[in-house]
Structure 1
Amino acid sequence: MLIYPHINPVALQLGPLAIHWYGLTYLAAFALFMFLGHRRLRHAPFVQLSGAAAWSRRDVEDILFLGVVGVILGGRLGYCLFYKPGYYAAHPLEIFAIWQGGMSFHGGMLGVLASVLWFAHSRQRPWLQVADFVAPCVPTGLAAGRIGNFINGELWGRFASPDLPWGMVFAHSGSLQPRHPSQIYQFLLEGLLLFVLLWLYARRERLPGQVAAAFLFGYGLLRFVAEFFREPDSFLGLLPLGMSMGQWLCLPMIFGGMALWWWAQRRQQPNPSF
């Protein structure tokens, strides 16, 4: 049994300015996206395009900027709508109090989708091509975010067997019983494992939409599994069928990814039946 080490969330204090580890993990996520985006330019079909259709490093920078805006706005609005709609309907001005915490991955994903659509429209590119470009660059950012969750000692797991060697006590959770370090599970599953699988899958040219579909399905499935070990939000608990809100929000991703992959496959057939 391990004891959570109570890491100071402030990485550096410069007078009144406090630099938090969580903020640094966001910076790491953006830097990783930039690095992987430049590497992605070497993959088919992007390396094969020429003329007005060619991709450049400037495109990566612009997608990153729009993606950051989408993550912040979508993540915050998603949390307010998915997790505490009643509270924020009664206190609408607190929607803007992002320093108080409260972000939703699924809302952030919708924000990124909106930024992808905007970028595709403004650059007159197929939106599925843009989504396929972005998808393999996302999981490392998710991994960085889970490290931030662990440093903050938040989003801990459900109670674990005392015999579990890596069971961890989060004393500030109000219990001295060991829990699953679910932040690390999510770091390994939806972060590192998803990145490796998706990056290898995307190195070969795929049908338009299939890389994005693989991300939707892969993240939805791995997050669904990880939620079995993560403590549900105290103000929600478990919802119908004994599933958490995170699991319910993953179901559209899983089925949406399957549908998109199937549609991408079907639209390449000479005589589709629809």
Structure 2
Amino acid sequence: MLPYPAIDPVLLSVGPIQIRWYGLMYVIGFAAAYLLVLYQARRFHWQQLRDRLDDLHLILILGVVIGGRLGYVLFYNPAYYLAHPLAIPAIWTGGMSFHGGCLGAILAGALFCRRTRLDFWKAADLFIVTAPFGLFFGRLGNFINGELFGRITLVPWGMVFPEGGPLPRHPSQLYEALLEGLVLFAILWAVKARPWQSAHSLRWPHGCLLALFLGFYGCFRFAVEFVREPDPQIGLIGSVLSMGQLLCLVMMAAAPVLWWWRHKKAAQNGIR
């Protein structure tokens, strides 16, 4: 068993104002995404996106936060928030859903691109490659908070979490940081240029990187959920799958459909 590094979730306190590690992780993730998108826009000579990047990035942040909160309300605790609707905006009390945040960002990005006449699929490719950075730092924030820990285990790297009882548990936050963050980033970064290369028969149309992200994230998260403690207010649905796994099944099903549809559109319109 490994000792859990008890890190104070509050990084800095100035009077009533607190700076928490979890919030800082969000800031780092968003900042890293901005810089990586800017790097790609310069490399692929997309000046139109560079001119709109600040506004689009802010819109996506709002989409992540609002979508993440509403996703948690609808997917994980609808009964409570139906009885306490005034608690819905209180994101500082905890409760965010990745799947809701992902959907919120996609919808916000699509609306912004339509309004500004940006190519949504090109923008999605540039931004989705950077998403694993936010996931990596977000999972580290979960670990520091001692939340979203795993199920009871006998593996030698199990840890006793402050809110998890006296028995060692899987550090599932670190599993997710590794798979959803570092491994997924390595995969997407290695193929990021494919939709931008010169047209040929093996080219990936824009939007394929988004499909790749949905598929791999769904698989990684689905696997880790088998050792992650289910949400207590839901438990295992049908005594088999968690809510997170059900949502990941939707992502895993959507990925090949999106991949096929983008290739079909490219074939109809000419590869571009």
Counterpart selection for 2:58 from 61, 65, 73: 65
Aligned partner of 1:179 in structure 2 is 169
The answer for unaligned runs of 5 or more in structure 2 is 196-203
Once the two structures are superposed, residues 32-73 of structure 1 have per-residue CA deviations (whole angstroms, 9 ceiling, x without a partner) of 111111121145xx42x56xxx331x4322221011111111
**Cα distance change on mapping 1:241 and 1:16 into 2, 3 Å:** closer
Spell out, residue by residue over 1:61-86, the C-alpha distance to the aligned partner (whole angstroms, 9 max, x if none): 22210111111111111100111111
Equivalent AA in structure 2 for residue 27 of structure 1: V
Of residues 243, 249, 252 in structure 2, which corresponds to 1:251?
A: 249
Structure 1 unaligned spans of 5+:
none
Alpha-carbon distance between aligned partners in 1 of 2:262 and 2:115, rounded to the nearest angstrom: 23
- TM norm structure 2: 0.91
Match in the other structure for 1:222:
220
Corresponding residue for 1:98?
91
The answer to whether the Cα contact below 8 Å between 1:76 and 1:108 also exists between their aligned partners in 2 is: yes
1:246 maps to amino acid:
G
Cα RMSD between the aligned structures? 1.8
- Give 1:270 deviation, angstroms: 5.7
> What is the number of residues matched between the two proteins?
262
TM superposition shift of 1:243: 0.5
1:1-274 aligned at under 5 Å gives the runs 1-43=1-43, 46-47=44-45, 49=46, 54-56=48-50, 58-161=51-154, 164-174=155-165, 176-205=166-195, 206-240=204-238, 242-269=240-267
Aligned residue in 1 for 2:199 = none
Is residue 146–residue 162 contact of structure 2 (8 Å, CA) maintained in 1? no
8 Å contact from structure 1 (residues 3, 170) kept in 2: no
CA distance in 2, matches of 1:252, 1:245: 11
Provide the C-alpha distance between the structure 1 equivalents of 2:78 and 2:163, rounded to a whole number of angstroms.
Answer: 27
* Residue identity matched to 1:193: V
Determine helix, strand or coil for the equivalent of 2:88: helix
CA contact (8 A) 2:161 2:168 kept: yes
Deviates more, 1:200-209 or 1:9-18: 200-209
CA deviations on 1:106-146 (whole Å, 9 max, x unpaired) are 11111101111122112212322221121101110011100
Residues 220-254 of structure 1, C-alpha deviation per residue, up to 9 Å, x if partnerless? 11111111111000111101260100000011111
SS at match of 2:115: helix
SS at 1:212's partner residue?
helix
Q: Tell me, what secondary structure is at the counterpart of 2:27? A: helix
Q: Is the 8 A contact 1:156 1:230 kept in 2?
A: yes
